[in-house]
Amino acid sequence: MQRFRRLRSGEAMRRMVRETRLDAADFIYPIFVAEGENIKKPVDSMPTVYQYSIDRLEEILPQIAQSGISGLLIFGIPAHKDARATEAYNDEGVTQRAIRYIKAHYPELIVIADVCLCEYTDHGHCGLICGWQYGLVCGLIGPALSTLLTQMPPMTILPAMTAELAVYGAVTGLMMYAFKYKTTYLSLYASLVTALIAGRVVSGILKALIFSAGS
């Protein structure tokens, strides 16, 4: 098979028919803001990218503003982490103070905040570990609210999905107390795997009963 390249024969032709054009205004710059003072720490996985403390943001912000980039995506790195991610909603947290600083000095930049909790929890996961009761309640209420507001999941599989998510939440919470490994990470992963298996088994049984009854 021969591919026809008439529309790629030269720079002028390619420029005329090009569909995608990238501009600096299309991009968002990720900026990592660390708690503390006089910090400029390189991010090993991203050359030329650094973690900055708020007092050293002026080393990078003028370049971003002058480059034509539209905005920033801020990743806060707090000094204190705990199971409830309290620094995520601390009004004097590093992310909150960095946002106020940037909006005050560079109002033309769009500021976007990373709202994932993984950077603020001591176990490194995005959610809160609140106990089996909360997991059970969330699993029972979440699918019902979703069906009510969005019609998803459909009513035919709502019972099985509700039971599955309720088992996930309850078993994860219970297993966190049962597994006493040396680190929270091991306990959490063991709990999640156990809950996943239990939830899928319960969901499979209910689906089999529902569809067999329907048939």
The model's pTM is 0.65
Tokens of 76: 């806060």
Q: Tens digit of pLDDT for each residue in 109-134?
A: 999 988 888 899 887 777 777 788 98
* Cβ partners under 8 Å of residue 75, min gap 6: 30, 31, 32, 33, 95, 114, 119
Closest to 75 measured CA to CA, from 28, 38, 122, 108: 28
CA dihedral 67→68→69→71, nearest 10 degrees, is 110
Q: Tens digit of pLDDT for each residue in 80-111?
A: 999 889 999 899 999 999 999 999 999 999 99
